[in-house]
């Protein structure tokens, strides 16, 4: 039985044409089996979004009314820096014309390249992402004509803008750094990967989920604004996936001492014998100590314990307004010096090995300067993890350090008694905004996904506050005026500090890609001490280069037996030998070469100080999410 043909056959469907339509068609055909979202679930989601948005707007209005309306100010000096740059640029029209001609040349080359591709011919791209730029790793950025054009257009413009403002002559060094840094922030914010319409990953996800990803992303955005009490606090890790003492900070130990500033943890031995000299770690107080104890496989604390060291670590308090007047003196006296006292009393030893990480290394050197003035020789060796003692080269953090900005920050801190850890963490994240900001904006808000359960990012979001008095002293005397390097430049506990009088053998480990403590800056600090120094340069950056266990066999490191005082940093590097793997074994050889005497393993349950709790302790377990006490 045949079916009669319709007298009115359907009209052929009209389809869009052109490159965008071709890409959309390819994406659609790849997801023909997609399922439309449940209307009830959509309605529920929209209602939730509306309710939360309304509450946030009302809360914002109340805060603004309470603060009062004020004119915007340029407290960071950014507007002035860009105004100065603009004036200098306009004063040299010839250079502007040359820059514009170069931009036109690059665009013409791109159009020529694109026309060749459109006709089926291949050729070398006009420009390409720099090594390590993971924004354009999706193959569509290379294989699909339109996305390749968008990518190269962006890179050409970005390089032009950054190069033009970076080559303006006559700017003072401070303004030049600000212009360079914030221009880069602007350029990276405008990357096509950060927008739904020009990111192939987002387009595919939008088609696949019928737009549910964007709605989920908006809900994630509201969640992060709520978490920041009206300010966006990008969630970088699934914090519910980690529990202190369970799957992070898992090395067994006991809290054996506590005062207002610190808890001191002694870790349980894993060997029958331990080195006679105990090992005290002084971590930075802007983050928790467990960066050195994330997982058993990459824990420095676990590894050194397994090598036979009797390990102690300071766990800093998360200060509130009550500790506003705790200055650098207090961190020295109630922190580092007290910890040294307790370690010596607990073990009965008169000599110890020490480690200072980043800001903790600055404190350790200051403590050793004080001890040298007091003829106190209990610190037998000192190791500095990516630590600045000379602040001549502070890296891009120097963008935020000048008199005007510090005064502005001091005013903010004086109002509440401390600096929020999230504010400092935000500054550090800006130094690597592509990796530490925009990656999560894309994942959380455009793709609508939850953050990854990554232990390092869990730790990174677990920053601590800093007391007003301490942070003000540190910024002014170290970063701004570089007085720690100057003999007698600072006075701590009524003693002028002279690092050249520190004769203790020291080991400096820095990393070649460090954006927080540039290795040439830490190298200068290594020349400030008066004793023998072994300087080692590791691969990778500020965190990954330090948390680099031998089992991972990654990055490699450079060594040179010459003393840093004998040559500039570049000459040291030219004569350095590169070795594969981790520098951890090199450190072990160095520290045991100073003294390898051993004693029966020390149990934290036995000693002058009785345990008051299990590691990681209450100070480390208190997250910044808890509200500060007023």
Could you give the residue numbers annotated as active site? 358
Q: What does DSSP assign to residue 476? A: I
What long-range pairs does 86-93 form, CB within 8 A, spacing at least 24? 88/168, 88/169, 88/170, 88/171, 89/164, 89/165, 89/168, 91/170, 92/168, 92/169
Are 125 and 156 in contact by the 8 Å Cβ rule? The answer is: no
DSSP string, 288-319: -GGGG-SSGGG-HHHHHHHTT--EEEEEE---
Are 384 and 509 in contact by the 8 Å Cβ rule? The answer is: yes
Q: What does DSSP assign to residue 215? A: H
Nearest C-alpha neighbor of 110 from the set 130, 122, 99, 126: 126
Which tokens sit at 571? 């000459």
Are 515 and 389 in contact by the 8 Å Cβ rule? The answer is: no
H-type alpha helices, 289-333 = 300-306, 328-330
For residue 172, give every residue at least 6 positions away whose Cβ sits within 8 Å of its Cβ, in sequence order, or none: 84
Which tokens sit at 462? 């677990």
Place of tokens 């590169």: 578
Q: How many helices (H) and strands (E) does the chain have?
A: 23, 17
H/E run at residue 506: strand 506-511
Are 443 and 449 in contact by the 8 Å Cβ rule? The answer is: yes
Q: What does DSSP assign to residue 492? A: E
Are 334 and 285 in contact by the 8 Å Cβ rule? The answer is: no
SS3 81: helix
CA atoms within 13 Å, Cβ hemisphere of 243:
1
Span between the terminal Cα atoms of the chain, in Å:
86
- The Cα–Cα gap between 624 and 423 comes to 12
Nearest C-alpha neighbor of 558 from the set 540, 544, 531: 540
Are 256 and 264 in contact by the 8 Å Cβ rule? The answer is: yes
SS3 279: strand
Q: What does DSSP assign to residue 276? A: S
- The Cα–Cα gap between 470 and 579 comes to 40
Residue 355: Cβ within 10 Å count: 27
SS3 235: coil
């Amino acid at each position: 039985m045949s079916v009669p043909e319709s007298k009115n056959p359907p009209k052929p469907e009209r389809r869009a044409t052109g490159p965008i339509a071709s890409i959309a068609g390819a994406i659609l055909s790849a997801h023909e089996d997609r399922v439309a979202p449940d209307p009830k679930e959509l309605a529920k989601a929209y209602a939730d979004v509306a309710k939360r948005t309304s509450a946030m707007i009302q809360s914002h209005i109340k805060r603004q009314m309470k603060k009062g309306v004020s004119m915007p100010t340029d407290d960071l000096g950014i507007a002035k820096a860009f105004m100065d740059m603009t004036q200098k640029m306009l004063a040299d029209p010839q250079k502007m014309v040359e820059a514009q001609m170069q931009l036109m040349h690059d665009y013409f080359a791109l159009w020529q390249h694109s026309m060749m591709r459109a006709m089926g011919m291949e050729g070398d791209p006009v420009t390409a992402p720099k090594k390590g730029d993971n924004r354009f790793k999706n193959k569509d950025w290379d294989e699909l004509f339109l996305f390749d054009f968008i990518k190269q257009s962006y890179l050409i413009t970005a390089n032009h803008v950054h190069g033009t403002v970076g080559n303006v002559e006559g700017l003072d060094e401070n303004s030049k750094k600000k212009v360079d840094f914030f221009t880069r922030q602007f350029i990276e914010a405008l990357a096509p990967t950060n927008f739904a319409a020009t990111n192939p990953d987002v387009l595919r996800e939008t088609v696949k989920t019928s737009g549910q990803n964007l709605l989920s992303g908006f809900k994630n955005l509201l969640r992060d604004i709520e978490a920041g009490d009206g300010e966006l606090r990008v969630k970088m890790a699934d914090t519910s996936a980690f529990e202190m003492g369970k799957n992070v900070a898992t090395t067994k130990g006991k809290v054996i001492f506590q005062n207002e500033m610190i808890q001191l943890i002694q870790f349980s031995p894993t060997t029958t014998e331990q080195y006679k000299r105990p090992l005290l770690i002084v971590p930075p107080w802007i983050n928790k100590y467990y960066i050195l104890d994330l997982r058993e496989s990459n824990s420095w604390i676990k590894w050194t314990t397994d090598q036979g060291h009797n390990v102690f670590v300071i766990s800093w308090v998360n200060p509130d307004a009550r500790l506003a007047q705790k200055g650098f003196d207090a961190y020295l006296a109630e922190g580092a010096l007290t910890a040294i006292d307790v370690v010596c009393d607990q073990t009965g030893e008169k000599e110890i090995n020490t480690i200072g990480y980043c800001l903790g290394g600055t404190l350790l050197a200051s403590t050793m300067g004080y001890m040298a003035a007091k003829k106190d020789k209990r610190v037998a060796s000192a190791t500095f993890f990516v630590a600045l003692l000379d602040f001549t080269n502070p890296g891009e953090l120097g963008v935020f350090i000048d008199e005007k900005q510090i005064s502005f920050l001091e005013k903010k801190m004086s109002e509440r008694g401390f600096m929020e850890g999230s504010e400092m963490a935000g500054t550090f994240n800006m130094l690597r905004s592509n990796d530490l900001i925009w990656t999560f904006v894309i994942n959380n808000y455009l793709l609508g996904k939850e953050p990854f359960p990554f232990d390092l990012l869990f730790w990174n979001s677990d920053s601590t506050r800093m007391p007003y008095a301490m942070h003000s002293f540190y910024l002014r005397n170290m970063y701004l005026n570089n007085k720690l390097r100057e003999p007698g430049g600072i006075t701590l506990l009524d003693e002028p500090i002279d690092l050249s009088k520190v004769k203790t053998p020291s080991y400096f480990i820095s990393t070649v890609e460090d954006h927080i403590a540039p290795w040439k800056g830490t190298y200068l600090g290594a020349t400030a001490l008066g004793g023998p120094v072994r300087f080692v340069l590791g691969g990778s950056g500020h965190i990954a280069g330090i948390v680099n266990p031998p089992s991972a066999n990654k990055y490699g490191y450079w060594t040179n037996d010459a003393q840093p005082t004998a040559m500039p940093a570049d000459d040291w590097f030219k004569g350095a030998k590169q070795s594969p793997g981790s520098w951890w074994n090199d450190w072990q050889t160095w520290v045991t070469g100073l003294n390898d005497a051993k004693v029966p393993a020390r149990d934290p349950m036995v000693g002058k100080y009785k345990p008051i709790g299990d590691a990681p302790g209450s100070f480390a377990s208190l997250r910044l999410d808890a509200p500060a006490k007023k």
